[in-house]
Structure 1
Amino acid sequence: MRRHTRTRKPRGASVVGRRFEVEVGPVAHGGHFVARADDRVIFVRHALPGEKVLVELTEGTEGDKFWRGDAIEILTASPDRVAAPCRYAGPGLCGGCDFQHVALDAQRDLKAAVVAEQLRRVAKLDVDVTVEAVPGDVDGLRWRTRQRYVELRGGGRGMRKHRSHDVLPVDECLLEAPTGPSYEVRGRGFEVADGGFWQVHPGAPETLVEAVLEALEPQPGESAIDLYAGVGLFSRFLADAVGPGGRVAAVEGDPEASRLSERNVPGVLARAGDVAAVLAGGLPPEWDTADLVVLDPPRVGAKRAVVEEIVRRRPRAIAYVACDPAALARDVAIFGEHGYRLRTLRAFDLFPMTHHVECVALLETGGAELRRGDSG
């Protein structure tokens, strides 16, 4: 989730350090807010819509179309502004949290606005989005069951600043959970490699499994393909639902995770490799059709090659688990080209205090698209 500054050719003199008084506009994807000054868009962190703030530019040159900056002084505060619980959150400090200055309910409203805006702009869908709280954190804190620090020379530890390699020494991160992850979900234990992927919010595995099963409604005897399957979280419960008369295939890029999925999901057909390539020729012929698909790609999304391999199999339902609203909207639009419509959408606050949000979208063929006012 950490982003570093990209090196690019300057387009004129640097504007870093310049200051402007601005009125802050809407939230944008990425944890910042839109403002304007000197005929430029400024993406501002540590602000809120409707506030008047003093912005200090942190990135940009005179020829850029947009600049980046931090709100270093709040001239008129939003009613949704709160004191950040962490002393390392703020301009020039730790880059891990975008929204510690925002009341928790308002954080979720901001995330809902971003998901809705991406679907409207990219997929041309007008969807009413609600971001649901998930049990397992403490008022938005103490939920990261896995946490990485930068080890400092001479001892101590630190966190990186926003879009930077610079390290800020810290005593603790308030997002860090008091215990590590539990690999048991619904009474089923999972083997996970050291450092292997597992949802970091303690409520995430149960919540996502429930949302996927509710969306797909798997029936005994059906066939299901779990893509980007990890160690088989969704495969395990799909296998239970389709029963001995059904079948489940799990496709995963990491060979170790794929191997573990075979141990975690008895009877699964596990394949390791690039997902698009496996779908194109790495599964037995009987898997050229499937009733159900679970799609849980990394932040970049599935992209066209994977989407088109899925729709070639004409599943009756697809559950798309997405951690990036922009990638989700792009892929929903591609599915739409092939007749698959967004039926339901649920969004979950699995990353409180940050701009990140998780969605579970159901796509099916025929009928009308999900529209504003429809329940997800």
Structure 2
Amino acid sequence: MSPRHPRARQARGRSRVGERFEAEVGPVAHGGHCIVRLPEPESRVVFLRHAVPGERVVLEITEGTDGDRFWRGDAVEVLDASADRVEAPCPYAGPGRCGGCDFQHVALDRQRALKADVVREQLSRLARLELDVVVEAVPGDDAGLHWRTRQRYATLPDGRRAMRQHRSHRLVPVDECLLEAPAPSDHTALGHAFEVAEDGFWQVHPGAPDTLVTAVLEALEPRPGERCLDLYAGVGLFARFLAEAVGPEGRVVAVEGDPRASALSTRNVPTAEVRAGDVGEVLATSYDDPFDLVVLDPPREGAKRAVVEQIVARSPRAVAYVACDPAALARDVAIFAEHGYVVAGLRAFDLFPMTHHVECVARLVPA
């Protein structure tokens, strides 16, 4: 797993990288870190990795200058450990090592509780929505390990495999990644096989397809004869089961921006109407008659206003929003609320153990 690299930016004064401070760790925040507030004279917020809320630690600054509003850091020494701190199972996890995992030092149940805290906080702050959130375990991993059915490594000049440090181009040699599954994905969901391009998108956790399809169908409760929109449809994972549920008298339209995935969905869901193209552009010019149900599975940045407003214009009785980023979900939920749609249920799934990522399925209905 390779994290995004930071954008190069101009230094704003004296660098504080390498300086150490003793501090108490505050709450978890979106992105795989915790919040630390350094007192005067520094008076800075530090986004801290490798810590657990409530601990007392020595932290080392990894990014930050005198002119920055916040700094980034690693917990390099634990003075007062949380009861939820565990020995990381991977020898490459920890400060200055591989950046692919955020929470290997945290017991699995507490990892899920931390992710639930993040989802809850994002919905509260960005959508003014107070919900109880439970992050559910998903079958198919080995106590949080051996679940990535698709894995990519960097290669060192001597041919050895490597992973990148967090927010860095620096490569860390690794013999193996403990998240990697013993076998690649078989591209099946609820007993049905799907055609997927060799490098095309498919959920990487073995339990994800069954889990997400089941959650979406439970959220929508599709009925024979209903009309369904599957947006960001990929190779037709959700469209396949919607088509089965609504039957020959119903209608399923699958819209996907990747032409290869869209072409494959015509084979995976031969009864669906398949359209390749940008979802916002397609909805702005086509399929403007009412639809009963919508599945919305956008990329990490979310659907955004133009797409949300096109959806509500079609007056669906229910929307199933599949979200891989809780902040994007919360922003879009706030837009739905402007147009009279409310969250009538939300489930969250631990499809990415040991990392900060979490998948949600929200049910939205007219108020």
Unpaired segments of 5 or more residues in structure 2?
Answer: none
Match of 1:334 in 2: 335
Aligned to 2:224: 220
Match of 1:44 in 2: 48
Name the counterpart of 2:207: 203
Task: Quote the residue 1:6 is aligned against.
Answer: 7
Give the equivalent residue in structure 1 for 2:135: 131
- Which of 149, 152, 167 aligns to 1:148? It is 152
Partner Cα separation in structure 2 for residue 324 and residue 144 of structure 1: 18
Q: Which position in structure 1 is the counterpart of 2:344?
A: 343
Quick one: distance in 2 between partners of 1:211 and 1:122? 24
Pairing 1:82–2:86 present? yes
Q: Is 2:119 aligned against 1:118?
A: no
* 1:7 shift after superposition: 1.2
Q: Does 1:187 align with 2:188?
A: no
Q: Aligned equivalents of 1:100 and 1:61: distance in 2?
A: 29
1:372 maps to what in 2? Answer: none
Q: How many residues align?
A: 363
Q: Secondary structure at the match of 2:132?
A: coil
Runs ≥4 in structure 1, deviation > 2 angstroms?
none
AA in 2 matched with 1:327: A
With normalisation by structure 2, the TM-score equals 0.98
Alignment partner of 1:317 is 2:321: no
Shift of 1:155: 1.2
TM-superposed CA distance for 1:266, in Å, is 1.4
1:90-145 Cα shifts (integer Å, max 9, x gaps): 00000000000000000000000000000000000111000000000000000000
Aligned twin of 2:25: 24
Residue 365 of structure 1 is matched in structure 2 by 366
Alignment of 1:189-338 (within 5 A): 189-281=193-285, 283-284=286-287, 287-338=288-339
- Report the residue type matching 1:208 in the other structure: L
Q: How far 1:230 moved relative to its partner?
A: 0.3
- Counterpart residue type for residue 139 of structure 2: P
SS in 2 for 1:288: coil
Tell me, what secondary structure is at the counterpart of 2:213? helix
Residue identity in the other structure for 1:137: D
Distance 2:188 2:329 in 1: 28
SS in structure 2 of the partner of residue 244 of structure 1:
coil
Alpha-carbon shift at residue 273 of structure 1 (Å) = 1.1
Q: Provide, for residues 152-173 of structure 1, a one-character-per-residue CA deviation record: whole Å limited to 9, x for no partner.
A: 2221110010001111010000
Output the CA distance in 1 between the equivalents of 2:21 and 2:289. Answer: 58
Identical positions, percent:
71
Q: Shift of the alpha carbon at 1:175?
A: 0.1
3-state DSSP of counterpart to 2:143: coil
- 1:55-70 matches, within 5 Å, as 55-70=59-74
Matched position secondary structure for 1:79: coil
SS state at 2:331 partner: helix
Q: 5+ unaligned residues in a row in structure 1: which ranges?
A: 367-376
What is the CA-CA distance between 1:9 and the residue it aligns to? 2.0
- Deviation of residue 267 (structure 1)? 1.5
Structure 1, 149-158 or 348-357: larger mean CA deviation:
149-158
Residues in 1 aligned to 2:85 and 2:323: alpha-carbon distance in whole angstroms:
28
Aligned letter for 2:224? P
| Distance (Å, rounded) in 2 between the aligned partners of 1:14 and 1:274 | 43
Residue type of the partner of 2:333?
Answer: V
Structure 2 distance, partners of 1:314, 1:11, is 50
User: AA paired with 1:276?
Assistant: G
